[in-house]
Structure 1
């Protein structure tokens, strides 16, 4: 169950969710290894320009906006657009796919879409 309070600016101001203890632990453990491998293979291929926030900061800010930790999610990816102005963080949490866009210079969340 999810409850969100969204401000007029479209940013999530408050959120809460209930977890079933057994399922997230079982789902999180198998997905941890692929998630770490994906992060390790993507990081060396990409270099972050000096005028944008670090990729891990973008991931941390996106997850904080959703009220989650990296261990709570699977299929995590983070990409900087070609103009180097926005990061798009995509991850799976339970049955929902989350797309969070962040300003690449400040690290602030611009939008959050849940499918």
Structure 2
């Protein structure tokens, strides 16, 4: 079972990193190469930029970050960022992640 999960995860990461490109060019999916030989942003950098731009209501930065990676990769990165943020805040507050998540969304305690 773990081998199949590991295989699926590996294929997802390969796609997110742009390794499986038909033309052989290595590049993050949808992310432009930066001038001067710098690497393109990865999905976690895109997610951090996207979420911070959303928090600041900066539409230009939102669109820029959304163009760095595929929509699927961005969705995964935003989800991972949300999970890590809720866990960190739960530890800080000494509460369960469920309690923190519900409080952040303004939901009543379950």
Fold shared, TM-score > 0.5 on shorter chain? no
Larger radius of gyration: 2
- TM-score, with structure 1 as normaliser: 0.24
- TM-score, with structure 2 as normaliser: 0.25
Greater share of residues in strand:
1
Greater share of residues in helix:
2
